[in-house]
Amino acid sequence: MNDLIWGVVGLLLTIMILSYLIGDNVFFRFAAHIFIGLTAGFVAVMLINQILIPYFVTPIVTGGWQQWLWMLIPLGLILLLVMGQWSKFASAGSIPLAYLAGLTAAVAVGGAVFGTLIPQARAVIEAFDPAGWYAVPGRSWLRVMDALVMLVGVIGTLSYFHFGKRRSTDDVVESPDPPRLMRALGKIGQVFIGITLGAVFASVFSSALIALIDRVLFVGEIILKLIGGG
């Protein structure tokens, strides 16, 4: 019985959301606002349970006086962050935000260098390893083609995102046209970006289609249960 009640709740919400296909309407908005409220409430509960209690309350309750002293720093930062929400003390909020900005920037720099730049650049370079080319006899031409396409594609994609700026003598920033080679490589890059986005589109579309089929099956299943046929 309990499952059936929850099933009906899911059925009603599903129909309300799918009603968007015939246009924006009051049922869709109703379901969307329920979703926003529920997600916000759940996120608040998770933030309190997973962050506020273990990182702030537990050290204060279980720790000694030394821990207490250490917790004065985050307590001060939290107070400044809360104070910063009032326009009168807006500048107070800049210190905790600066703390977060510095931390995020350092993590982003480390992640960009060690997590992306080095591994991705290495993958492009390793495609030119002759040992890999001759690993499968008779297929070396395919490996060479793979490596060349990889190199041209990556350089082309990067060229497409080239937004060069030049500061002229009177301190005006100009955006000159990129060199002809860069433009040509950018065109090749566009094709590769299109291919990547096309493949991503196909995956997302397939997943969305599976979700649509799943929802239709779910609606059918609950209706069958309700009329006693399931």
Partner 1 sequence: MKKLPAIIVSVAIGLTVLAGYFFQAELSTVLSLIVDWGILLAGVAGLIGLGYLAQYHLTRLMKREKGAFFSLITLLVFLFTLVAGLTLTTQNPFYRNLILNVQVSVEASLLAVLAVTLMFASLKLIRTRGWTPMSVGFLISALISLVLNLGVGMTESGTVLGELVAFWRRLPIVGARGILLGMAIGGLIVGLRILLGMHRPYGEE
| Touching partner 1, residues 8-47 (CB under 8 A) | 9-11, 13-14, 17-18, 20-21, 29-47
Asked whether position 101 contacts partner 1 by CB under 8 A, the answer is yes
The CB-of-226 to partner 1 minimum distance in angstroms stands at 16
The C-alpha atoms of residue 158 and residue 121 are separated, in whole angstroms, by 12
Asked whether position 148 contacts partner 1 by CB under 8 A, the answer is no
Dig out the tokens for 96 from the structure.
């905790």
Options 2-10, 60-68, 164-172, 176-184: segment touching partner 1 (CB under 8 A): 2-10
The C-alpha atoms of residue 18 and residue 23 are separated, in whole angstroms, by 10
Residues 6+ apart with CB under 8 A from 189: 153, 155, 156, 157, 158, 159, 160, 161
Burial class (CB in 10 A: 0-12, 13-18, 19+), 7: middle
Applying the rule CB under 8 A, the residues between 123 and 142 that interact with partner 1 are 123-124, 139, 142
Asked whether position 187 contacts partner 1 by CB under 8 A, the answer is yes
Residue nearer to partner 1 on the CB measure, 161 or 227:
161
CA 151 vs CA 26, 116, 126, 199: distances in Å: 52, 16, 11, 20
Asked whether position 60 contacts partner 1 by CB under 8 A, the answer is no
Residue nearer to partner 1 on the CB measure, 74 or 132:
74
With CB under 8 A, what is the number of residues at the site for partner 1?
116
